[in-house]
Amino acid sequence: MAAVTQRLGCQLSPAAARLVGWCSPLCGLRILTNFRPGEAPSWYRGFIYNPNDGRTFNSTIHVEEDGTLKVRGFVGVSLFGKTVEWVRPRETLARCS
């Protein structure tokens, strides 16, 4: 399957490959959805999609003073989750198409 998707020139979502057996592009895929603004600078009660396993988790986002994002994904209660820090890249990245 990996060789086929490399020839097609697309990135494959492993979950999509298992479920439908075709190439699902990661470019443009929405992974953060349905967030509502909370007390600044936080956003809360949205969802985050994991393209590696095809699962969607509850999530919260907190914006730090330096502009980094603290994104927490969890199942049920926030206590049972993981927080990851997202940092804006310094260089300009090419847009996917």
- Above pLDDT 70, what percent of the chain? 74
Please state whether the predicted TM-score (pTM) of the whole model is above 0.85. Answer: no
pLDDT tens-digit series, residues 1-29: 344 344 344 555 556 555 545 556 777 88
Residue among 16, 14, 11 at smallest CA distance from 27: 11
pLDDT tens-digit series, residues 50-90: 887 888 999 999 988 888 999 999 998 888 899 999 998 88
Do 61 and 15 sit in the same domain of this protein?
no
Do 38 and 75 sit in the same domain of this protein?
yes
Q: Tell me if 96 is assigned to some domain.
A: no
Do 23 and 35 sit in the same domain of this protein?
no
